[in-house]
Structure 1
Amino acid sequence: MTRRVSGFLLVLAAFMVFEWINLGFNLADGHPTGFYVVHGILIAVNLILALVVGAIGWRAWRAGRRIDRI
């Protein structure tokens, strides 16, 4: 994987974390409990996906740095 792709993955992961945490804080009051349960699950799953994408991007970024030195 190139450093360009790994950089994109890192930026995507950061955006996902920012966006979903922001959504969590912006949920308005007055909805039924099911609404909050579903959105809580969506937020949790997407934060886990962001961590996975970030870990893949980080590993690729570090591997690309090692390749660049050789």
Structure 2
Amino acid sequence: MSRRVSGFLLALAAFMIFEWINLGFNLADGHETSFYVVHGILIAVNIVLAVVLGVVGVRAWNTTAKTGKSGG
């Protein structure tokens, strides 16, 4: 995997974490409990996916740094 792809994965992971946490804080009051349950599950799943993407991105970034391949 190239450094460009691994950098993209890292940026995507950071964006996902920022966006979903921001959404969680911006949910307005006055909805039914099921609304919050569904959005809480969505937020949790997307943060887990962001962490996985971040781990893959960091490992790929470190691998390309060790091998000296920049990809293309």
Tell me, in whole angstroms, the C-alpha distance in 1 between the residues paired with 2:66 and 2:7: 15
Give structure 2 stretches of 5+ with no counterpart.
none
Q: Please, what TM-score do these two structures have when normalized by structure 2?
A: 0.94
**Superposed CA RMSD:** 1.0
Tell me, in whole angstroms, the C-alpha distance in 2 between the residues paired with 1:68 and 1:3: 10
Considering fraction of residues, name the structure with more helix: 1
Runs of 4+ in 1 over 6 A off after TM superposition: none
Percent identity over the alignment is: 71
Q: CA deviation at 1:59?
A: 0.1
Q: For 1:47, give the aligned amino acid.
A: I
What count of residue pairs does the alignment treat as equivalent? 69
Indicate the residue corresponding to 1:22 in structure 2.
Answer: 22
Q: CA deviation at 1:67?
A: 0.9
1:10 aligns with 2:10: yes
Alpha-carbon displacement from aligned partner over 1:1-35 (angstroms, at most 9, x marks no partner): 00000000000000000000000000000000000
Q: CA deviation at 1:53?
A: 0.3
Tell me, in whole angstroms, the C-alpha distance in 1 between the residues paired with 2:67 and 2:21: 35
